[in-house]
Amino acid sequence: MEINLTKKIYAHISAIGGYVPENKRTNHDLELITDTSDEWIVKRTGIKERRILEEGLATSDMAVNAIKNLIETYNKDINDVDAIIVATSTPDMLMPSTANIICGKLGIENVWAFDINAACSGFLYALDMGASLVETNRYKNVLVVGADKISAYVNINDRSTNILFGDGAGVVWLEPTKEIGVIDALLLSNGTGKEFLNIEGGGSLYPPSQDSLEKEKTYIKQDGKVVFKNAINAMSHTCLDVLDKNNLSVSDINWLVPHQANKRIIDAVGKEINIEENKTLINIEHYGNTIAATIPLCIWENSSKLKKGDLLMLTAFGAGFSWGASLLRWTI
Ligand code: UT7
pLDDT (average), residues 266-295: 98
Same domain, 210 and 310: yes
Residue 159: CB within 6 Å of ligand 1? Answer: yes
Residues 208, 149, single domain; the answer is no
Q: Is residue 4 in some structural domain?
A: no
Are 220 and 300 in a shared domain?
A: yes
Strand order across the beta sheet in which 142-148 lies: 10-19, 168-177, 142-148, 83-87, 112-116
Residue 5 lies in a domain: no
Per the annotation, the verdict on 259 as an active-site residue is yes
In a domain, 57, yes or no: yes
Give the CATH number, domain containing residue 285: 3.40.47.10
Active-site residue identified among 12, 65, 103, 120: 120
Whether 3 maps to a domain, the answer reads no
Q: Is the pLDDT of residue 96 over 70?
A: yes
Domain boundary among 179, 204, 220: 179
32 and 149 both lie in a single domain: yes
Residue ending a domain, among 179, 199, 216, is: 179
Ligand 1 and 302: CB distance under 6 A: no
**By 3-state DSSP, what share of the chain in percent is helix, strand and coil, each rounded to 5?**
35, 25, 40
In a domain, 2, yes or no: no
282 and 153 inside one domain: no
Q: Where among 151, 179, 207 does a domain terminate?
A: 179
pTM of the predicted structure, to 2 decimals = 0.96
- Domain holding 302, by residue range, is 184-329
The band of 5, judged by pLDDT with boundaries at 50, 70 and 90, is low
Nearest CA to ligand 1 atom 37: 40
Q: Which of 159-163, 209-213, 242-246, 254-258 has the lowest mean pLDDT?
A: 209-213
103 has catalytic annotation = no
Q: Is 120 a catalytic residue?
A: yes
Query: CA dist 318 to 122, 224, 242, 245, 330, Å?
Result: 9, 12, 18, 23, 25
**Residue 72: pLDDT band with limits 50, 70, 90:** very high
* Beta carbons within 10 angstroms of residue 251's beta carbon: 10
| Residue 37 included in any domain | yes
